[in-house]
Structure 1
């Protein structure tokens, strides 16, 4: 028997491009799915990295020390938020009352505080008044000059220091100071008329502590007078 002649190699070479075309037709779909899987992996990695960074930031914030002048409750508690709101309302209300009572008050606030200091400490120098009221010496000097012109206080040379001046309350200043103190205490009594003695005492204590903390914040020691 005669053997069948072998097919020429050219036939294989012609058939190969056909198989390649079939594979080429399916390649775009495979590449798209592969790219989608890669994109998903990248997205998951980024999400995990962002989550780790967020946790690290929260941990760092918890470890940050609270400034000492803010006190032990400076952590955003409900009580602190309530106090902040109440202080804001208090400042607004006192500003409104001050506008209404300006005509009735025999003394302005600055003069009243200076006379309060002189009433408690007696004749004092400018530097002493400035330290007690947590004000600059230049500010106190201007206020004292205005009060001297109004006859509320007098200024004399210090017996032991020629550069210093001793400020003394005059009788006219004493008279107006007593009248203003009486008016202020009357307003406070009207506000706290329904309060008990213990509540008024607690208010005075907390206000004194608040002024002390504010003085520490501004590196001073503001005076706290009994009303």
Structure 2
């Protein structure tokens, strides 16, 4: 999917720019412009209308948060993915409130960047593994807006699926009947347009839901 993605990179560190440019080329994405401050990033977005902007937060002049807010307002079809060294909750919260659709640390792997490209292309929010645990504090718990097609109740079930819980364990955790959980799982798979629990779990983890690997009670290989 990343082969058709057009990208603008905004970062004021030349070595990091070079590395990210090379990584995106390996993933098949096209870098249409680079910028070393927020103002230049905004200008590049308005000129090239890319699919994604990888945005550093701390740059001279117009910073990444304000640049993100302006891009979201003036080019809403462009997804902003913050790529930063900042792990603090305040930066994460500010980026999400500004409208960023992703938040990754600069130490993220090639796989994390590839998943981010694919997730934002689907219109989803993506939070990197290094900061996913902070999302609860930043936004007061996972919002259904992570997957806007799901209800809040379905997001809760999906989160537990991502943690590796099977239907029985999920039902016990949420004080629900197991049949109710099965029905919600079926609805989740339909709304996410996937056929297996494993696919739904990958989508959920890409968006920052779930905190650990599937445990002994996991039913990742079963659709319901």
TM-score range, shorter chain: under 0.3
Quick check: which one's strand share is greater?
A: 2
**Which of the two has greater helix per residue?**
1
Answer with 1 or 2: which has the greater Rg. Answer: 1
